[in-house]
Structure 1
Amino acid sequence: MVKSLKKLIEQVAKDKNLPEWVVEKSLKNAIALAIKKDRRVREDLEVHLEDDHIRVCIVRKKNGEIVKLPLDISTEDVNRIAAYAAKEEFLRELEKAEEERGYLEYLEREGEIVFGIVRKITEEGDVIVDLGKVLGILPKREQIRKEEYKQGSRLKALLLSVSRRKGKYEIILSRTHPKFLKKLIEHEVPEVARGDVVIKAIVREPGERAKVLVHSEDSKIDPVGVVVGIRGSRIVPISEELSGERIDVIKWTSDDEELIRRSISPAPVSKIRLDRRNKKAEVAVPKEKLSLAIGRHGVNVKLANRITGWHIDVMSEEDFEALMRL
């Protein structure tokens, strides 16, 4: 009996391209489950495939220690149940093992971009994505608000996390995380992937606007030009992938005042007053450029605040002069 089971393990491992220990574990679990059902045993069972017989133990906790006791069951019964388990329960256990391996493969890919097919949209608005061997979830909170997802359509997203809940794995995807934009840039711009240009920070209002702070130690490299590309050839495809999200690429500097000027782009800044103690900045722009500096729904200045770490108060040149006179 044991020899035939071991041959079965070898064959299945070969056919399924799984390690033998994974297949053996699945078979032992299947035998344990079948015995529990047949003998109505509630305790945990442990199965050992010895040289010429199958040994089954009841696993109990006693005074904080794990105690293993032989199960009172005949060899004939064990063999009969094991033969049944090898046919029925084993397949289910093996499916679980294959699924687990699939999720573990994705665990190693956390923080990478993955591709999938939209399989279902739940009542809550979450998107179930077929990644091949496993399913991922693009929760509503991780979706770009203006996007609509249709069953059967292809989807690109960041593999945000792989976690285990109640014995089941869960893959969470994101299209709103700053790291998704970072990875898209790395894919599009070889200089970023190589490290010649470094992304210092990214802030986003998903689907609306993003600001990317870039730097290069090589004075011959223009980090902004490299990331944007000739006539926007590199940044435009990324913007299109993000449903038209406007991406401002800003050259990093250690000079706070200059960094604030650059962060308000595309609006020109004429004057700045800094309160270094409270990290507050009052910024003057031409009156006709005020709405551009603030941005739709205040998004431009909000992102400038986040990427610089300063609280920026944008105003017209006239209001700035009046404030200076106070």
Structure 2
Amino acid sequence: MGQELIRVIEQIGREKGISRETLVQAVEAAVVSASKKRFASMGNMEARLDPESGEVDLFNVKDVVEVVEDSETQISLAEARAVNPNADLGGKLVIPVQMEGLGRIAAQTAKQVIVQRVREAEREIVFNEFRGREGELVNCAVMRIERGNIIVDMGKTEGILPRREQSFREVFRRGERIRAYIVEVKKTPKGPQVILSRTHSGFLKKLFELEVPEVAEGTVEIVAGVREPSGRAKIAVRAKEKDVDPVGACVGVRGSRVQAIVQELRGEKIDIIQWTDDPVDFVKNALSPAKVSRITANPQEKAMEVIVPDDQLSLAIGKKGQNVRLAAKLSQWRIDIKSEAEHGKQEAERQKIALEKARGDLTGVQALKGVEEETIQLLMGNGFTNLTSVLEAPLERLQEIPGMDQEKALRIKELAHAFVRGETQESPGAADEREIPALTVSEDSQSQGHSLLDLEGVGEKTAHLLEEHGIATVEVLSQASEEKLTEIPGIGRARAGGLIQKAREFITGGSGGSGDEKDGGSE
């Protein structure tokens, strides 16, 4: 009987891949479990299997104590020494127990325990085998479909492809072989569970490793990858050797390599992008196939404003924003896409606002027509020295001025708004007294401020020279520095200071000139 038990243990170990020690422990636990009903009065039981003979011995183990409180688990020193003369206080006494008469029920219990222990050992082996395989690509066969979840055969165990990890375009049949990506391996009461995915970005990378030898060898590296399953995917690649084209290697001859992956993904479009360390260039590449005009980056907020031609806007954004969304995920930058026309309108509006702000900063409250001198003095006495201070102040702040009611405060604000927007009406005859030379000025300059030719002492030659260097209006000239003007050929520091002074006097309502003939001064 003993040798037969050893042979059974060895056979099960070979078939199940379970170690002999584990099976021996299972047999010992089974014997203890079976004997507990037969020897209920005995507390701690131990079974020992001789690995050579196969014989199983059963023992009752008791603690040797001075005063017995629990007769099932304890024994007095005197009684212990009657069994074993070498027994000492605090030690354990092992008393052999005869196993005859355990009966059929005990044998059935032992069998159940052994089966349970073997099953647990099998599950542990499977779990340990798959535990370190997260991120691997596996081939498996579809066994059945339960509530949308696909159960697959992975050899020693079953895997589950949850509905959330499936592409909506994919339909699988029983017995069909599929590829999947191991996402997670976890223990459950029913055994180890292997969670698979076909939508994970890692699945796409593994497919490229399978189809592109350069990726598998490490010559080409997939730096990043993002997907919207069944729609579009983008991967960024770079070569570790100078003479290797990473994009060409992934595409293959006539697109053979990438097409194999597209077929595996049921028609999902894949953009392969050249990786670059420059975020601006990388975002430009990531937005392909759209063409980009220019990009303005804000590293602090990790945001970019991307300007594209009007006919490329829809392509850059993509269907339901898919292209720009994937590009943002791939680059990890926030991307704001605008067309040339939209950007031009916003830029013009910003310039208009900046111009109004500059005009308000440079214009004193004395320029407000229709406001009594006494009110002007009160405004200045309360810190409102220019129009910007009036416009930015809350209405309640203006009403704190003695004699200033809500109606008067609103009127002053309206006048200030009208002035900075260029809506102030000139007095009759003022336009007739000012002669406008015949110089063509761009429509943008006319709409954004006063022409340089409105300044006395500035002729066509000087105006053209200033416009060529980005100074197209009186307002812009008034904000320029002497250093900037002296960089213009033919304009010295004295001339620069005079031009700036004239521009500021013009805006604040001064004469705007000294009576010099136009372009008559030394430039």
- TM-score bracket, normalised by the shorter chain, equals 0.7 to 0.9
2:255 alignment partner in structure 1 = 232
The alpha-carbon deviation at position 287 of structure 1 amounts to 2.1
**Alignment partner of 2:186: what SS?**
strand
- State whether structure 2 residue 101 is matched by structure 1 residue 101: no
- State whether structure 2 residue 336 is matched by structure 1 residue 313: yes
- Conserved? CA contact 2:290–2:316, under 8 Å: yes
Change (3 A) 1:318 1:45: farther
Q: Give the Cα separation in 2 of the matches to 1:256 and 1:276.
A: 10
1:283 alignment partner in structure 2 = 306
**Alignment partner of 1:127: what SS?**
strand
2:398 alignment partner in structure 1 = none
1:247 alignment partner in structure 2 = 270
- State whether structure 2 residue 55 is matched by structure 1 residue 55: no
2:184 alignment partner in structure 1 = 161
Q: Give the Cα separation in 1 of the matches to 2:60 and 2:254.
A: 71
The alpha-carbon deviation at position 173 of structure 1 amounts to 0.5
Any unmatched runs of 5+ in structure 1? Answer: none
Question: Which of 277, 280, 287 is the equivalent residue of 1:257?
Answer: 280
Deviating more after overlay: 166-175 vs 237-246:
166-175
**Alignment partner of 2:243: what SS?**
coil
2:78 alignment partner in structure 1 = none
Question: Which of 139, 143, 156 is the equivalent residue of 1:115?
Answer: 139
- Conserved? CA contact 1:271–1:284, under 8 Å: yes
1:7 alignment partner in structure 2 = 7
Deviations 1:181-239 (A, max 9, x none): 11111111111111111111111111211111111131111111111111211111111
Q: Give the Cα separation in 2 of the matches to 1:152 and 1:56.
A: 53
The alpha-carbon deviation at position 87 of structure 1 amounts to 5.6
**Alignment partner of 2:100: what SS?**
helix
- Residue correspondence of structure 1 range 268-279 to structure 2 within 5 A: 268-279=291-302
The alpha-carbon deviation at position 78 of structure 1 amounts to 5.7
Change (3 A) 1:249 1:3: same
Change (3 A) 1:73 1:55: closer
**Alignment partner of 1:220: what SS?**
coil
Which structure has more relative contact order (CA 8 Å, sep 6+)? It is: 1
1:27 alignment partner in structure 2 = 27
Q: Give the Cα separation in 1 of the matches to 2:329 and 2:153.
A: 35
Deviating more after overlay: 149-158 vs 198-207:
149-158
2:412 alignment partner in structure 1 = none
Q: Give the Cα separation in 1 of the matches to 2:241 and 2:342.
A: 41
**Alignment partner of 1:218: what SS?**
coil
**Alignment partner of 1:173: what SS?**
strand
Task: Give the partner amino acid of 1:246.
Answer: K
- Conserved? CA contact 2:136–2:206, under 8 Å: yes
The alpha-carbon deviation at position 6 of structure 1 amounts to 2.4
TM-score by length of 1: 0.85
Q: Give the Cα separation in 2 of the matches to 1:287 and 1:199.
A: 32
- Conserved? CA contact 1:282–1:314, under 8 Å: yes
Specify the structure having the higher radius of gyration (Cα): 2
1:212 alignment partner in structure 2 = 235
**Alignment partner of 1:234: what SS?**
helix
2:208 alignment partner in structure 1 = 185
**Alignment partner of 2:266: what SS?**
coil
- Conserved? CA contact 2:158–2:194, under 8 Å: yes
Change (3 A) 1:218 1:15: closer
Change (3 A) 1:33 1:164: farther
Question: How many residues are paired up?
Answer: 318
Q: Give the Cα separation in 2 of the matches to 1:56 and 1:141.
A: 55
The alpha-carbon deviation at position 48 of structure 1 amounts to 3.0
TM-score by length of 2: 0.55
Change (3 A) 1:289 1:34: farther
- Conserved? CA contact 1:120–1:129, under 8 Å: yes
- Conserved? CA contact 1:35–1:81, under 8 Å: no
2:363 alignment partner in structure 1 = none
Q: Give the Cα separation in 1 of the matches to 2:37 and 2:208.
A: 55
Change (3 A) 1:38 1:79: closer
**Alignment partner of 1:120: what SS?**
strand
The alpha-carbon deviation at position 3 of structure 1 amounts to 4.1
Any unmatched runs of 5+ in structure 2? Answer: 63-72, 74-90, 351-523
